[in-house]
Amino acid sequence: MTTPVPGLDGDEEILWRSLVELLVRLPRVLDDQFHRDARLAMAEYSVLIALSEAPVGGLRMGELAEATALSRSRMSRVVDNLVRRSLVTRRKCDQDGRSLLAAITAEGRVVLAAAYPGHLTRVRSLVLDHIATSEIHAMMPALSRILAALRENAAND
């Protein structure tokens, strides 16, 4: 017999509902900004960021999915779209000949550079400007633990 999970107390309920609303609203607002500034989706921006920070040669598709927290199937669709737009290249990995390696192109770097200032402005105005430095330092350990639990859960699925 399993032990029943305790309900949420008042503060936990408020925190949870606020977090859920943030997880719905923030990506939508950021996605709208990416479309206006660079004709990108937020997932595409995340892929371009990950590839711009990758070692020379790019990232395997699985590594790219892990770096962006996208599913492998979603990653394939996003990369397909970026390849069609000449923002990313995809080729077989020299080491094993089976894996696919994605890399950002010069045009991809131009689009990323154009999208970054507007993104930074939105991140600051919507999130960081509303959090004191002391709150940032207090939030970081909790967010790290939550992300670790989510990563472990994904690894076990």
Predicted confidence (pLDDT) per residue in 55-99, tens digit: 877 899 989 999 999 988 999 999 999 999 999 999 888 777 678
Mean per-residue pLDDT, 30-38: 90
The mean of the pLDDT values for the chain is 91
Tokens of 124: 């600051």
Q: At 94, phi and psi to the nearest 5?
A: -65, -35
**122 or 98: whose pLDDT is higher?**
122
Closest Cα to residue 87, out of 66, 102, 101, 71? 102
The pLDDT of residue 83 is 96
Which own/partner contact pairs does 63-71 have at CB distance under 8 Å and 24+ positions apart?
64/102, 68/43, 70/43, 70/46
Q: What does residue 90 show for φ and ψ, rounded to 5 degrees?
A: -140, 135
Asked whether the predicted pLDDT for residue 14 surpasses 90, the reply is yes
**pLDDT reported for residue 97:** 67
Can you say how many angstroms the Cα of residue 12 is from the centroid of all Cα atoms in its chain? 26
Mean pLDDT of 103-125: 94
Per-residue pLDDT at 108 exceeds 70 = yes
- pLDDT at 100 > cutoff 90: no
Res 134: pLDDT: 95
Confidence band for 51, pLDDT divided at 50, 70 and 90: very high
Query: How confident is the model at residue 151, as a pLDDT?
Result: 86
Asked which of 37-51, 74-88, 90-104, 116-130 is least confident by mean pLDDT, the reply is 90-104
